[in-house]
Amino acid sequence: MDLHAIISDLVEQKRDKTIELSDSIWDCPEIYFEEHHSAEYVCKALESEGFQVEREIAGLPTGFIGSYGEGKPIVAILGEYDALAGLSQKKGDIQHDPVVAGGHGHGCGHNLLGAGAFAAAVAIKDYMQQAGLQGTVRYYGCPAEESGSGKAYIARAGLFDNVDLAFSWHPFTAPRIMNDSSLANYSATFKFDGKSAHAAAAPHLGRSALDAVELMNVGVNYLREHMIPEARVHYAITDTGGISPNVVQPHAEVIYLIRAPKKQQVEELYERVRNIAKGAALMTGTTMEVEFEGAASNLIPNTTLANVMYKHLAAVGAPAYDEADYQFAKDIRASLSQEDRQAAYAGWDRAVVKALKDKDIVDFIPPHGDEGALAASTDVGDVSWIVPTMQCMTTCWALGTPFHTWQVVSQGTMPIAHKGMLQAGKVLACTAIDAMLNQDIIEQARAEWQERLDGEVYTSLIPEHVMPPRRGSVQA
């Protein structure tokens, strides 16, 4: 048997266990830094497979490392399990129907991501046992990818420093290799304090914090003309100071998320936004303080690893789908807007777009594309600054399904999602084992990584004094 057949068999042997893990996480959606049950599900699953698990790493109550083996090479498999707020949705439903109004939901498929990474780590372990392969496989339990950048805390703590290669994946609407750069980001809340007063009888005695927030937002909107076009700045007013118009609002808050292709660009842009906030406080006679929310570095691509991973993606191939899969995907696509369906073709070359026409599921492996640039951010970027890193995507959703939507949540426990999750586990395991068996892959990937960094050393965007928040706990 070749490697792909062996790994496919190993993953399929644990198929039911992996699906049960994924669905258990889906059933208990927990948002950033609150993933106590989800993290424990994965920890116990790893322990049942012979992994040594260290919990609460890097000050993260819901972060952990599961290890098997000893010595070099050391490969890291990155797992996530956080959900998104406000995306509660019943499973398998083709209409928007929340389980809990306003509740959480796995709108980015991290239940699949965490379980697929588990499948990969266990398959690597099982292969090591069968083949007598020397080395270490680690499953990194990484909380708060969506809003808190858990991997950045783990990276800052030095827990990736002795790793040789790192691998991850993400659910998507098509199989592809993520040999991409991404946008670094920095998020902070700006809190303004003023003085309340009667807005009619004594407005001169008041100092409006809401005025300061509004002036800050106006100033940042004028800033947009004078920043690089690749940068992005988003904001949300999280506290308007009250609901009474006849009271001068004494307190107001706004949260900002700032993105740019390079960490230095993000830092420079953040300082400009911060100066605007200071100016707004001066103009309104209020005071201002800043509270850090999260940060992530940009991804460092690695063509060496991308080519190796694509070889295994092509060899593993696409899963087999039945008529029920195709019909469900067709029904989900009917719930999407024409704009969403059309956006599914963006970024593919003409031949692939032609092949995608009239498809509801991407049931083939498209050709390997060129290095790309994501107009988004991920804390996997921090890992890629420390160790050569590569990710893939697999088909888990109907073609055109946008990220962070109820349609993603609905599909999260369906056979299409499970098949893509298991496919990803096979691809990650094959890629990792190939590298463990061939030191040349590790050396070439590291040489390319060093060339891309060009002497620049990793520094965390998270301020040294900031520790991860501790939210919630597991209830007995």
d(CA 402, CA 56): 33
E-strand stretches of 178-309: 180-181, 184-193, 232-239, 251-260, 287-296
306 Cβ neighbours under 8 A, 6+ residues apart:
177, 179, 368, 371, 390
Residue 353, domain CATH: 3.40.630.10
Q: At which of 275, 295, 315 does a domain end?
A: 295
* Residue 471: inside a domain: no
Q: Is the pLDDT of residue 475 over 80?
A: no
User: In DSSP terms, which residues pair with 198 in a beta bridge?
Assistant: 247
DSSP per residue over 120-188, as a string?
HHHHHHHHHHHHT--EEEEEEE---TTTT-HHHHHHHTTTTTT-SEEEEEEEESS-EE--EE--EEEEE
d(CA 176, CA 394): 7
Total domain count, the chain:
2
d(CA 208, CA 38): 42
Same domain, 40 and 152: yes
Q: Which residues of 66-88 are buried (b: 16+ CB within 10 A; e: fewer)?
A: bbbbeeebbbbbbbbbbbbeebb
Same domain, 38 and 112: yes
Same domain, 227 and 96: no
Is the pTM value of this prediction over 0.75?
Answer: yes
Same domain, 33 and 132: yes
pLDDT of residue 347: 85
Q: Is the pLDDT of residue 470 over 90?
A: no
DSSP classification of residue 203: G
Q: What is the mean pLDDT of residues 358-380?
A: 93
* Residue 105: inside a domain: yes
At 375, the pLDDT band (50, 70, 90 cuts) reads confident
At 473, the pLDDT band (50, 70, 90 cuts) reads low
Same domain, 322 and 446: yes
Residue 245, domain CATH: 3.30.70.360
* Residue 215: inside a domain: yes
- Tell me the angle at which helices 415-437 and 303-316 cross, rounded to the nearest 10 degrees: 130
Same domain, 140 and 95: yes
DSSP per residue over 363-374, as a string?
-S-PPP---EE-
* Residue 467: inside a domain: no
For residue 20, is it left (φ>0), alpha (ψ between -120 and 50) or beta? alpha
* Residue 15: inside a domain: yes
229 Cβ neighbours under 8 A, 6+ residues apart:
none
* Residue 473: inside a domain: no
* Residue 461: inside a domain: no
Domain span at residue 232? 184-295
Which two structure tokens, joined as six digits, stand for 299?
A: 């991804």
| Amino acid residing at 302 | N
CB 75 within 8 A of CB 305: no
Distance (Å) of CA 70 to CA 34, 47, 128, 161, 166: 31, 16, 11, 16, 16
Burial of residue 262 (CB within 10 Å: 0-12, 13-18, 19+) is: middle
Secondary structure of residue 205 in the 3-state scheme: helix
Q: Which residues of 437-450 are buried (b: 16+ CB within 10 A; e: fewer)?
A: eeeebbebbbebbe
pLDDT of residue 476: 34
Q: What is the mean pLDDT of residues 341-366?
A: 93
Q: At which of 257, 272, 295 does a domain end?
A: 295
Q: What is the pLDDT of residues 105-147, one digit of tens each?
A: 999 999 999 999 999 999 999 999 999 999 999 999 999 999 8
Same domain, 252 and 322: no
For residue 149, is it left (φ>0), alpha (ψ between -120 and 50) or beta? left
Q: What is the mean pLDDT of the chain?
A: 96
Secondary structure of residue 448 in the 3-state scheme: helix
Same domain, 175 and 319: yes
Q: Is the pLDDT of residue 471 over 80?
A: no
Same domain, 220 and 174: no
CB 90 within 8 A of CB 389: no
* Residue 474: inside a domain: no
Same domain, 163 and 214: no
Same domain, 331 and 351: yes
Same domain, 423 and 402: yes
E-strand stretches of 303-458: 372-373, 389-395
Reported for 232-235, long-range contacts at CB under 8 A and 24+ positions apart, including other chains, are 232/183, 232/257, 232/258, 232/259, 232/260, 232/375, 233/257, 233/258, 233/259, 233/269, 233/273
Q: At which of 295, 314, 345 does a domain end?
A: 295
pLDDT above 70 coverage of the chain, percent: 99
CB 217 within 8 A of CB 234: no
User: In DSSP terms, which residues pair with 188 in a beta bridge?
Assistant: 256, 292
